[in-house]
Chains A and B, each alone.
Chain A
Amino acid sequence: MTGEPIDEAEMAALMRATQQGDPAAYARLLKAVAPIVRRMAARRWTGSEEADDVVQDVLLSLHQVRHTYDPDRPFIPWLMAIARNRLADVQRRQARRAKGEVAVEILPETFSGQETKDVVDRLAYSDALEQAMAELPAGQRRAVELLRFKEMSLKEASAASGMSISALKVSMHRAMKTLRTILTKQ
């Protein structure tokens, strides 16, 4: 996904139009901005998170503070300040996660054992899970669908559902608890 390359003056004009409520100009601007941020992320980024996640994080942040752009000032430094800031945040988050990780040479492959596989297969392809899902409240079911079935990140799921990240975490936790209870009974 790349937008047509446009120069800084045009970006500034699109940003002005965006501030005046022009969605088409905004879409064009974001499409032009995304590859710039992706290139910057590729140059500086060494973490495990997908470059696209970093780009999306920057776009969401730009959206939040689009009112802070001053048309009398250049656009690129404004954009880069946001991108650098978000990239630094992602790197800090990665560093914190890495501190909690334990390196192992051989990963325990419980999923290769036939018994483990049978249980997983039985659950994954049975009607039992479907029935248990149907018993969940709507919010919890939505959380499971987005976070587990569609494998979205919390941020993506929050954007898609309109639920806050903390509400999603709570719903997910409760859904897992309920599903475990229902499936154990069966």
Chain B
Amino acid sequence: METEELIGRLAAGAGRPVRRLAPPSARLLFWLAVSLPWIAVVVTVMGVRPDLTARFEDPRWIVEQGAALVTAVAAALAAFCAGVPGRPRWERVVPIVPVVVWIGAVGFGCLQDWIRPGPGGVMFESDWACLPGIVFVGAAPGIAMAVMLHKGAPLAPFVSVGLGGLAAAALADFGLRLFHAQDAGLMVLVWQVGSVALLTVLSAAIGRHLVRWRHLPLH
């Protein structure tokens, strides 16, 4: 087919207005508006942990939860930015900052546990429930993210879907810790942050299947 003919066909199929993609910040607000009520419902159904009020007085817990929340927000915003052609690439690496703070805070917690003698010291045991817990809490944010990323341009499927997975998993971990009373540094690092990392990698791996160039039949 000649390029001239292709242009004619493309133009003929563009007679209807298209719904413009909202700016990444507006999409972020929409994603949070869908995700946070779901997390609130799950936390309510599962039952808020009994020591939650005391947790709010623990700076370590506050920093870890704050970093998880900021990671979720930054990763979601970066994922939406990655789906818009022409936006600067540095936007995609911004979530590294809260991720480093998050891992650093949890790692510092491990160190504190390590040097603390007695029953409050380092503790490690199997807690496989964290992974399905994060998957469940992150289900609605994850699905909403997948649908929204599908509408963007498939410029960087690996990065955008990986960031989307990180956003949903980090938000899920934030919610999980409101009803799951497990705060030992090493446990959080391995079972919770580890699950988030695993889900991020899995999301990135399916990126090319979720968002890709698809040329529809022309009219």
Identify 21 residue pairs between A and B in the complex whose beta-carbon atoms are under 8 Å apart, listed by A's number.
Answer: A1-B4, A1-B7, A19-B18, A23-B14, A26-B14, A30-B7, A56-B1, A56-B6, A59-B6, A60-B215, A61-B213, A63-B14, A65-B85, A68-B85, A69-B85, A81-B85, A81-B86, A82-B85, A158-B217, A159-B1, A162-B217
A45-74 at interface with B (beta carbon < 8 Å): 52, 55-56, 59-61, 63-71, 73-74
4 residue pairs, one from A and one from B, having the closest CB atoms = A77-B86, A81-B85, A78-B86, A27-B11
- The residue on B at minimum CB distance from A86 is B213
Contacts between the two chains (Cβ within 8 Å), count: 121
Complex Cα spacing A64 to B212, Å = 10
Chain B nearest CB: distance from A45 CB in Å? 15
- The residue on B at minimum CB distance from A63 is B10
Chain A contact residues: over half helix, strand or loop, or mixed?
helix
- Contacting residues, chain B, for A69 (C-beta < 8 A): 20, 85
Complex Cα spacing A2 to B9, Å = 17
Contact status A64-B18, CB under 8 Å: no
Contact status A68-B153, CB under 8 Å: yes
- Contacting residues, chain B, for A65 (C-beta < 8 A): 85, 152-154
Contact status B215-A158, CB under 8 Å: yes
- The residue on B at minimum CB distance from A75 is B86
Contact status A30-B86, CB under 8 Å: no
A7-36 interface code vs B (CB 8 A; 1 in, 0 out): 000000000001111111011001100100
Chain B contact residues: over half helix, strand or loop, or mixed?
loop
- Asked whether any CB of chain A lies closer than 8 Å to the CB of B52, the reply is no
Complex Cα spacing A61 to B153, Å = 9
Contact status of A81 and B6, CB under 8 A, knowing A19-B17, A64-B215, A159-B215: no
Known: A23-B14, A56-B1, A73-B87. 11 other contacts (CB 8 A): A21-B17, A23-B11, A34-B3, A56-B6, A59-B10, A66-B18, A67-B20, A74-B86, A78-B86, A81-B85, A158-B217
Contact status A23-B153, CB under 8 Å: no
- Contacting residues, chain A, for B213 (C-beta < 8 A): 61, 64, 86, 89
Chain A nearest CB: distance from B81 CB in Å? 11
Contact status A66-B217, CB under 8 Å: no
- Asked whether any CB of chain B lies closer than 8 Å to the CB of A85, the reply is yes
Q: Of residues A21, A66, A82, A159, which shows the largest number of chain B Cβ atoms within 10 Å of its Cβ?
A: A159
- Asked whether any CB of chain B lies closer than 8 Å to the CB of A152, the reply is yes
- Asked whether any CB of chain B lies closer than 8 Å to the CB of A80, the reply is yes
- Contacting residues, chain A, for B2 (C-beta < 8 A): 1, 52
Chain B nearest CB: distance from A85 CB in Å? 5
B1-35 interface code vs A (CB 8 A; 1 in, 0 out): 11110111111111111111101000000000000
Contact status A26-B10, CB under 8 Å: yes
Contact status of A31 and B85, CB under 8 A, knowing A82-B155, A89-B213: no
- Asked whether any CB of chain B lies closer than 8 Å to the CB of A134, the reply is no
Chain A nearest CB: distance from B5 CB in Å? 9
- Asked whether any CB of chain B lies closer than 8 Å to the CB of A160, the reply is yes
Contact status B152-A68, CB under 8 Å: yes
Complex Cα spacing A66 to B1, Å = 22
- Contacting residues, chain B, for A63 (C-beta < 8 A): 10, 13-14, 215
